[in-house]
Chain A
Amino acid sequence: MSFLSSASNFFTSKLDDALGWARKYSIFQYPFVTACCGMEYMSTAAGHYDVDRFGAGFPRFSPRQSDVLFVVGTINHKMAPVLRTVYDQMCEPKWVVAFGVCTCTGGFYDNYATVMGIDTIIPVDIYIPGCPPRPENVLDGLMKLQDKIQKGEQSRTLYDPRTKTGRPAHLLEGYSIQQHIREREALS
């Protein structure tokens, strides 16, 4: 759970709290915006429902410089390798927010093109449902993310839709399209 966990050392546990406090109030987000949720993301970031007062107002448009990946909008199978690449390029510690129901579970796009939930390809920390979620929802999710950052927790599991359980994240390299076709034919 915590990075330096030794309960007897008073100084270390205070350091954890200080680190968590510093991290949660200076979130550099990477807004991976694809679809309609992007409009609500813009509304949340702008003046009316200001996200800057939470310290998260400065998007870093490079994955190397950011620590929270906001996946905003539907991810389809053409975009999924790009998302995985961006996630892999981020440095530790990193968190992922699934913004909008299309990223949480796929939404109502149950078809050949859509990834039914990005937690099948990257581990997700906070799920913000809604189509699109109201800015108040987003800010609520952001505050829950801040609690998580304070405690130093990170998600490390992917969701396996066949067994409907979490499984440890493995780097999806070496997973080829030929294997997919074989697997799919075996299933059907």
Chain B
Amino acid sequence: MTPLQRVQEKFQSQIVETHAFRGDETVVVRPGALREIAKFLKEDPQMDFNYLMDLTAVDYLFFAGGRIQKEPRFEVVYHFYSLTHNHRLRVKVPVDEKDPQVDTLTDLWASANWYEREVWDMYGIRFKGHPNLKRILMYEEFKGHALRKDYPFNKRQPLIGPVY
């Protein structure tokens, strides 16, 4: 059974949607079930996802020029990889813009630490239980979250030098 089928069978009620576009198995889960599913992915011997390969977020404000409405606004995307079974899975968690919070995964995979800091820096999504949530790529005095779609790409906030 593929990882996607196993997750579907076990967590039927927590899953919002699944797809396998171009062969990448993806499952969209509810935010409350994230830690449970992540623990299952790590500890179950048939899944054995020992790599949290990537953790990022996507902002769907005004997606496709407004033709496609995607609610809620953000989605946190996790890419998992298993060294022993050589299979991959993508898990997506939809996050609301009014209260952008997700559970942290730092105690399960040590790589999550810096990835979650980067998502906080670029998108403003908080991670509950993260030991050290501060900016990693931008400087502390920067106001706003740079990769959000409503932050213009050339709005500058210099520390020294002229503003233009």
Q: Taking beta carbons and an 8 Å cutoff, which residues of A are in contact with B?
A: 77-78, 80-81, 84, 110-113, 115-116, 120-121, 160-162, 172, 175, 177, 180-181, 183-184, 187
Most chain A beta-carbon neighbours within 10 Å: one of B138, B153, B159, B161: B161
A170 and B15 CA atoms in complex are apart in Å by 60
- The chain B residue with its CB closest to the CB of A186 is B163
User: B138–A184 contact, CB under 8 A?
Assistant: no
Q: Which of B143, B151, B153, B157 is within 8 Å of A77, CB to CB?
A: B157
Chain B residues whose CB sits within 8 angstroms of the CB of A184 once the complex forms: 156-157, 163
**Given A111, A172, A175, which contacts B154 in the complex, CB threshold below 8 Å?**
A111
- Among B139, B146, B163, chain A packs the most CB atoms within 10 A around the CB of B163
Q: Please, how many residues of chain B have a CB less than 8 angstroms from a CB on the other chain? A: 19
One of A81, A111, A120, A177 near B162 (C-beta < 8 A): A120
Main SS at interface, chain B: loop
- Which 7 residue pairs spanning A and B have beta carbons closest together? A121-B161, A184-B163, A161-B164, A78-B139, A77-B158, A183-B163, A120-B161
B155 located at the interface, meaning its Cβ lies under 8 Å from any Cβ of chain A in the complex: yes
What are the residues of chain A within 8 A of B153 when measuring CB–CB?
Answer: 110-112
Closest to B143 in A: A181
Q: Which residue of B lies closest to A161 (CB)?
A: B164
A-B pairs with beta carbons under 8 Å apart, 22 shown: A77-B156, A77-B159, A110-B153, A111-B153, A111-B154, A112-B146, A112-B151, A112-B152, A112-B156, A113-B138, A115-B161, A120-B162, A121-B160, A121-B161, A160-B162, A162-B162, A177-B159, A180-B157, A180-B158, A180-B159, A180-B163, A184-B157
